[in-house]
Structure 1
């Protein structure tokens, strides 16, 4: 969104309320050039003011990657209005946008996304490509003492697995980091670097070491007994088909489910080469049901969480103190739940619960210390109404027309956003680590099964995944995240609805909670669909007009065609690979 979007170009005028009072002023239709100049001038002055007054002191407690910005500089007026939330009531600005305005924020290239030169971006991509082509040659999974044909097939299989993992990183990692970037809690570069470390660590340390040959129980194994060559070709085709559709979706910024991609691809292969009896239709029905269950559950829970934040934090006598007190409790609950659901803890339930509670305690203590270390000066200031009044008066002089941005609780709201920013970053880190450990199996499962067939293993139920294959999948996820991850992050964080730290935390907390309880209850759920629904729920809590219908329509359409497209691509790729690999199999 650019500064010119802050003023309506339509014939109608928009009204902005100031400080929650009755006073309002109309924004009339005037020449766009004039408003561009005025808004540009306002941004420069406002940015300087925020840099002088809102920047927290540096602390050695946190690395640079996790330092947060209390407020986002250079925000458009429509976004700044959402920061003025005195007495728990958000002040909305009604701006009539044309459809092309919503899409005017074109997806930038990698160089622009990370603020690096095009030469540096090209060098990074070339280095990743060279590593992807050369690393498999030194992996034990290439097989010792095998013939040349099997080595070629093993090398090809590892490249197919890397391609799938690359696309998982490009699309699915937005589940963890998209809301943090959209709310301004982390910059895009900080989010990508943090996620890269945590995703790889999660894939390597917490990755599933045992997987099913028939991924997610979609295909009936008995149908392919004695047809190892056909099954091998089908597994490669499934990786290629799912990766292709994920790449298309990532290009357009559509967040789709990687599990649905793999399921669709394997269903297509099973139907074409094994008949209707080769597919577990009940499993497919459960996956299809998640299209409806996931987003609705995510939206409902995030709606309630955000309403609760507005009720018990914004409406409190001292919102800053209320947020600081609630943060450790919320982090304790969230981290404990995520740890219990996502990490491979002890199989003894009481021990697993104790381990999860220990993780939650560590997270709560860490957040409490960080909040009081980084925001302690603001917490002290919030107790003095005179200091806050002086600050507001000084800020009003500096920013003129934008005096309603902070409202009568500028310091209080700054504390609230700072507190929820830290909470959001911590929850995003846990989600990113858990994602690396769980979703790497979408790429590594079919890859490990194909390698097992090449190494003489039967198409049985369980296959042990070597550590080098787990690391290979983690590297692919990180590579995709660095090169293309910003595209879907932009959709999750910015193109569905405007996010602030409180809204982002509500969406992330709701999505994690829904995925946790649905998994424990055995309900079909999609983490991607749940998060998108949660972001929409936060938007609905602010009003129906706060959700961009065009973006939601594109996302839902991409969900609906994921399984059919994956199935068709798998059939097509199987037909091609059977001919290309006929001399090697």
Structure 2
């Protein structure tokens, strides 16, 4: 007798196989969103193990282990949120693909952190609290731990809702909240906090104004010229020279503190010299690249593509050199206080701490960065290579101006402010042209309702981002104070 399945048996077998296949598809669909958090968790565990390796021989090594884990968590959140501001405009302008942006940012952020990152960081984030107000090194450790946890949680929440916020300001709020909970309101340096609060307003406005100014220059001198290619040959090398000079001065002033201390005057001279060199190198290159191009705006985009990519890479390097140290500052403070049993205004950042910061940023950018990159690059306002270049250029110049004025600014606020500046300038420019057209009786008038509909900056994103900026410091401070009180109650630190 034959054992082969016949008739209904074949149908039953096919039905069972189909159910198994659907179950596998469902399992893969459910598991896909868990891959990125799983990789992030694995990196956090590795960071904790690194902390255990370096402090395994001390009785208080568990504190460093937890601090290393939360430091890695903070670095991941910086990669997910902060770095998007540098790469978003280039991706939105289609000068870079998402994969290319992530690769460039990961390499240059890590290089900036490890090669040019400051080896000394203020453990109390630019003098926000007085360490003398702390009763013991143990209380100081819990205050820094609370600041680290709260700032990381706040940046994570902001990334989840799609709001680019300043990780530096998150750390500032966390340190302030923990300081108040530990030693009262008198421990806070309120003049410093006032300067930081002023930077919330000044840095995005300055970044937006400079970006809008450069866009106006490009429109007037290149886009609206009869011979666009000839105008581009004349002005693009000038703009590249300005970008080179600005970044050279920025990196000389801020990025190489570990190697040499450079004052503002010398930094500006370095920037001027390298800017002139860049002009004479770029001029023949742009002339060669523009040969055969049609006399239209689309051709101009190709001339701005490479300078935009280079500026995005330099922004990432500068961000890695400066902001990573601020982010891992609380971790460095905890390591110092644990190792030496005291706390000071400045401590050296151990290499392994900077490595955690650098690699954490790369993981965060790769795993969670695309959401914010898309938001900054294309969902606030439409960007092309010229507009995105204005944003990158304004970021470097604004930091130089703010450093000269002695203002603590946020790279996030400057970059996003530049995007808003470009968008609002385009709105104003379009409205002005519509008014001129309306004055011409031969041109069909556009209804006021239609003009209101043609807004070039999405107001919903604008309000969300401004609200997130305003509440970053108080929210991080409140969370930090509550976490400090909880830690103190749990371990009897107070």
In the superposition, the TM-score normalised over structure 1's length comes to: 0.69
Q: For residues 370 and 262 of structure 2, what CA distance do their matches in structure 1 show?
A: 40
Superposed CA deviations along residues 462-502 of structure 1, whole A, max 9, x for unmatched, are 21111121111101111111111112212211121111111
Is residue 202 of structure 1 aligned with residue 86 of structure 2? no
Offset at 1:165?
1.2
Q: Pick one of 162, 177, 189 that aligns with 1:280.
A: 189
Q: Where do residues 127-146 of structure 1 align in structure 2 (5 Å cutoff)?
A: 127-138=39-50, 142-143=54-55, 145-146=57-58
- The equivalent of 2:324 in structure 1 is 440
Quick check: 2:301–2:385 contact (8 Å CA) kept in 1?
yes
Task: Tell me, yes or no, if structure 1 residue 183 matches structure 2 residue 93.
Answer: yes
Identify the structure with the greater helix proportion: 2
Alignment of 1:430 with 2:314, yes or no, is yes
Once the two structures are TM-superposed, the CA of residue 361 in structure 1 deviates from its matched residue by 6.1
Q: How many Å separate the matches in 2 of 1:282 and 1:581?
A: 33
Confirm whether residue 470 of structure 1 aligns to residue 354 of structure 2: yes
Q: Give the whole-Å Cα distance in 2 for the aligned partners of 1:176 and 1:364.
A: 24
Question: 1:223-247: CA deviations, max 9, x gaps?
Answer: 11x4111110110110110111100
Q: What is the deviation of 1:353? A: 5.1
1-structure distance, mates of 2:462, 2:268 = 38
Deviations 1:41-85 (A, max 9, x none): xxxxxxxxxxxxxxxxxxxxxxxxxxxxxxxxxxxxxxxxxxxxx
The residue that corresponds to 2:368 in the other structure is 484
Question: Does the 8 Å CA contact 2:319/2:411 hold for their aligned counterparts?
Answer: no
Do residues 174 (structure 1) and 84 (structure 2) align?
yes
1:348-401 deviations in Å (ceiling 9; x for gaps): 55765565456546755775676566xx3xx3324xxxxx5xxxxxxxxxxxxx
Quote how far apart the aligned CAs of 1:421 are.
1.8
Counterparts in 2 of 1:145 and 1:363: CA distance versus 1, 3 Å: farther
Asked if the contact 1:271/1:279 (under 8 Å) is kept, the reply is: yes
CA contact (8 A) 2:181 2:485 kept: no
Question: After superposition, what is the alpha-carbon deviation per residue over 1:384-436, rounded to whole angstroms, capped at 9, x for unaligned?
Answer: xxxx5xxxxxxxxxxxxxxxxxxxx4xx3232101112221111110100001
1:318 match? 227
CA distance in 2, matches of 1:261, 1:421: 33
Q: Contact 2:181–2:484 (CA<8 Å) still a contact in 1?
A: no
Residue 197 and residue 122 in structure 1: after superposition, are their counterparts in 2 closer, same or farther (change >3 A)?
A: farther
Over 3 Å counting, the alpha-carbon distance change for 1:270 and 1:139 in structure 2 is closer
Q: Is the 8 A contact 2:250 2:400 kept in 1?
A: yes
Contact residue 52 and residue 64 of structure 2 kept, 8 A: no
Q: Given that residues 211 and 464 in structure 1 are in contact (C-alpha distance below 8 angstroms), is that contact kept between their aligned partners in structure 2?
A: yes
- Normalised to the residue count of structure 2, the TM-score between the two structures is 0.81
Give 2:424's match in structure 1, choosing from 515, 523, 540: 540
Q: What does 1:171-570 correspond to in 2, within 5 Å?
A: 171-224=81-134, 226-342=135-251, 343-344=255-256, 346-347=260-261, 352=267, 355-356=270-271, 360=275, 371=286, 376=289, 379-382=290-293, 409=295, 412-543=296-427, 545-570=455-480
Mark the runs of 5 or more structure 2 residues left unpaired by the alignment: 1-28, 429-454
For the residue of structure 1 that corresponds to 2:347, the secondary structure is: strand
Question: Please, what is the CA RMSD of the aligned residues?
Answer: 2.7
**Alpha-carbon distance between aligned partners in 1 of 2:83 and 2:143, rounded to the nearest angstrom:** 26
Alignment of 1:144-163 (within 5 A): 145-147=57-59, 150-163=60-73
For structure 1, which segment, 493-502 or 544-553, has the greater mean C-alpha deviation from structure 2 after superposition?
Answer: 544-553
Provide the C-alpha distance between the structure 2 equivalents of 1:357 and 1:139, rounded to a whole number of angstroms. Answer: 44
- SS for the counterpart of 2:121 is strand
Contact 2:51/2:68 (<8 A) preserved: no
Contact persistence 2:79–2:369 (CA under 8 A): yes
What SS does structure 1 have at the residue aligned with 2:126? helix
